[in-house]
Amino acid sequence: LRIKSWWKTAVIYQIYPASFCDSNGDGIGDLAGIVSKLDYIRALGADVVWLSPMYDSPQVDMGYDIADYEAVYAPYGTLADMDTLIREAHARGMRVLLDLVINHTSDQHAWFKESRSSKESVKRDWYIWRPATYDAVTGARRPPNNWRSFFGKDSAWTWDETTQEYYLHLFAAEQPDFNWENDTARRALYETSMTFWLKRGVDGFRVDVVNTYSKPAGLPDAPVTDPGAATQPCAMLVCNGPRMHEFLREIRRDILAPYNAITVGELGMTPDPDAVRQYVSAASQELDMVFQFDVVMVGHSLFGNLAASNASGEGKSEADPTHHFALPTFKAAVGATQTLIAGNDAWTTVFLENHDQARSVSRFANDSPRHRVASARLLALLQACLSGTQYIYQGQEIGLVNAPADAYPVDNYLDLVSQRVMQGVAAAHADSTPEVRAQAMARAFAALQYAARDHSRIPIPWNGAAKYGGFSEAAGQLAKEPWMKPHPLAGEINVAAQLDDPDSALAFWRKMVALRRAHPDLLVYSDYRALREADEDLMVFVKNAVEGDDHGKVLVVLNFSTDEVAFQVPDAEELGFADKTASVTFASLASTHKADAPVGDVLAPLEG
Ligand code: TEU
Ligand code: CA
């Protein structure tokens, strides 16, 4: 039997503050803009909002570099605006999650400034400082170990002139890693990042890189996978360190439990399902749910390889940037996350997008003008029928696609990861012929067009007829240009155009959310069983309710190809009915590729 909780059937809508809605026309989204759209989010059927970081920050990594946990980034608003947002959400029966970024702070945080000021500083040990090592032959100064930052190919250590030591940063140099081994530091971090906000009424947190706080003892070198390179990928070594579970239990017991606050952890680099379970089984008393990376990593290797491709530009085959994976790979990844729930009390999430991922229609389906609405519907139906807590990322509900290459040049990409990819390829080809260099740059740009984080960060087009796609609609003609160039397709894909269109992606998403709410036992808490796993066109699965009023099965058939595909309806045995001779009644079966497919037909519980 499944343990039931409000947050398991919740639908959580992620907001990226800079790009959601600009209320005052300065070109940057803000908290007042979010409040003005709460009714829109509620009408979609979502009952929780998760805000990406809105804290004071120099914005080197769009707020994932926090300078003050207890202050709001001024362009977004004030603490009073946050209080209003929390109150207005609660007044609508909605809950609010904040982003908890505690692996690192900004280098502009007062604690780090104090830590780097002197080796004698009382906060020196709040970050991870180590002396240099020296090359035995040349005597050259080298970092304490060979770890490579997750952002690019450079060392995870930066030399500090003032105190003549290196500090560790798994991400950008402006994001120094916090020293979780120091008890005083850890408690101070809990107070400022969590308790401060719990007292103000937030309902929980999305926990950034939730498995990197505890570092391996002695900070050993990472295994050499890239001979010749000075630094090495260290992800498998630094993730899931020895004290991780202890820290998460401590947070839950001492900080979150008194407020009944919930958590969803961002759990990358943890492919082993047993390792995942340790974080999310109810018995562990750590996190309530996690984002697994299985699905969003599908087709991502072109981008990943480029980011790490060597000086001669070698890497995996990048010949065809339009075809990145076969459907069975995607289906297997979905299946891997679904089985987490089966047979025990762990829980997972359902998501295809977030602020680190390009748009799902472009990545997993077909974003051509002819097929993109059908693709958005297809992916909405898929997600509505998966077990776990459903997340929708802003703009996903209107079927936004990646910015097309011809209308969105490389200069429009502002994310530091994208810029590092382009700089890395340029540097690697500094001595290549112009022709080879141009080819490499074109290939890198194709990778950005497919997988860059920028696509999901483009300002939301609220109204295709208004200036800048209506991102700053409230300010009208006085609005400044948004911080990122508007979406080139804002005229065609925008909220206003979909609000009253029953065939739109938005209308379909609303129906899917309602459907999921109407059938929690069948869709949210049910067991997943894949059929026809090798089929390259169709995704076919059965959901089995394990209990409840709508005890039964549902067969889900999704056509990912652009053609009509003949489908042989499974018999009772393939559907998994105990009585193999049972006669199966199909209430209906419809293709989401047909824009006129009535939703009532899309889901038809089967009684055996
Ligand atoms: O992301 C962690 C993470 O794994 C990403 O760096 C991911 O590998 C990358 O985006 C793929 O291109 C979290 C946040 O979600 C991300 O926005 C931050 O940049 C990062 O942590 C550092 O805080
Ligand atoms: Ca603004």
Token pair belonging to 174: 């402006």
- Supply the mean pLDDT for the chain: 91
Strand ranges (DSSP E) for 287-375? 289-292, 349-350
Residue 206 has pLDDT above 90, yes or no: yes
Strands (E), 219-354: 232-233, 262-267, 289-292, 349-350
Q: Would you call 208 a catalytic residue per the annotation? A: yes
* Phi/psi-derived region of residue 498, left when phi > 0, alpha when psi is between -120 and 50, beta in every other case: alpha
Phi, psi torsion values for 142, nearest 5 degrees:
-135, 155
Q: According to the model, what pLDDT value does residue 449 have? A: 93
- Among 389, 137, 164, 188, smallest CA distance to 288 is for 389
**Integer Rg of the chain from CA:** 24
Residue recorded with tokens 């991780």:
244
Catalytic residue among 22, 81, 266, 356: 266
Binding site membership of 356 for ligand 1 (Cβ less than 6 Å)? yes
Length of the chain as a residue count: 608
Query: pLDDT tens for residues 163-181?
Result: 999 999 999 999 999 999 9
Report which of 492, 493, 403 is spatially closest to residue 454, judged by C-alpha positions. 403
Closest atom, ligand 1, to C-alpha of 269: 4
Q: So what's the pLDDT on residue 566?
A: 86
- Give strand ranges (E) for 308-449: 349-350, 389-393
Q: Is 266 a catalytic residue?
A: yes
56 CA to centre of ligand 1 in angstroms? 18
**pLDDT of 589:** 47
CA–CA distance, 392 with 36 (Å, rounded to integer): 18
Residue nearest to atom 4 of ligand 1 (CA): 268
- Confidence label for 551 from pLDDT (cuts 50, 70 and 90): low
Residue 603 scores a pLDDT above 80: no
SS3 category, 444? helix
Mean pLDDT of 315-327: 53
- The residues whose Cβ lies within 5 A of ligand 2, an ion, are 22, 24, 26, 28, 30
Q: How much is the pLDDT for 584?
A: 66
For the segment 484-521, what is each residue's pLDDT rounded down to a tens digit? 999 999 999 999 999 999 999 999 999 999 999 999 99
Residue of the CA atom closest to atom 3 of ligand 1 = 209
Return the pLDDT at 413. 98
CB 302 within 8 A of CB 316: yes
d(CA 102, CA 190): 9
- Residue 259 sits at the vertex; the CA angle it makes with 255 and 264, to the nearest 5 degrees, is 70
Q: In terms of Cα–Cα distance, which of 215, 121, 222, 112 is closest to 167?
A: 112
The pLDDT, as a whole number, for residue 318 is 40
Nearest CA to ligand 1 atom 17: 356
**Cα 551 to Cα 548, 602, 605, distances in angstroms:** 5, 18, 9
Both structure tokens of 570: 């499974």
Instruction: Quote the tokens at residue 513.
Output: 């959310």
Residue 309 pLDDT exceeds 70: no
Q: Tens digit of pLDDT for each residue in 557-588?
A: 999 998 888 888 888 888 888 777 766 666 54
Expressed in angstroms and rounded, the spacing between residue 71 Cα and the centre of ligand 1 is: 22
Q: Is 203's C-beta closer than 6 angstroms to any atom of ligand 1? A: no
**Do residues 548 and 8 lie in contact, with contact meaning Cβ atoms separated by under 8 Å?**
no
Q: Which residues pair with 134 in a beta bridge?
A: 141
Would the CA dihedral through 474, 477, 478, 480 be positive or negative? positive
Encoded tokens for 131: 């002396």
Dist. CA 221–CA 206, nearest whole Å: 30
What is the sign, positive or negative, of the torsion defined by CA atoms of 255, 256, 259, 265? positive
Instruction: Find, among 377, 308, 389, the residue nearest to 351 by Cα.
Output: 389
Least confident among 40-44, 406-410, 411-415, 597-601: 597-601
Nearest CA to ligand 1 atom 20: 64
Say yes or no: CB of residue 444 within 6 Å of ligand 1.
Answer: no
Sign of torsion over alpha carbons 277, 283, 286, 287: positive
> Percent of the chain, pLDDT > 90?
80
Whole-angstrom Cα distance, residue 581 to residue 125? 69
3-state secondary structure 194-236: HHHHHHCCCCEEEECCCCCCCCCCCCCCCCCCCCCCCCEECHH
**pLDDT attached to residue 576:** 85
Of all protein residues, whose CA lies closest to atom 9 belonging to ligand 1?
356
pLDDT tens string 388-401: 999 999 999 999 99
- Out of 47, 208, 415, 454, pick the active-site residue: 208
- ipTM for the complex? 0.96
260 CB neighbour count, 10 Å cutoff:
9
DSSP bridge partners of 127: 178
Mutate to test the pocket of ligand 1, among 107, 153, 209, 351 (most ligand atoms within 8 A of CB): 209
The span from the CA of 593 to the CA of 405, in Å, is 26
- Three-state secondary structure readout of 77-131: CCHHHHHHHHHHHHHCCCEEEEEECCCECCCCCHHHHHHHHCCCCCCHHHECEEC
Question: Does 315 score more than 50 pLDDT?
Answer: no
Cβ 453 under 6 angstroms from ligand 1: yes
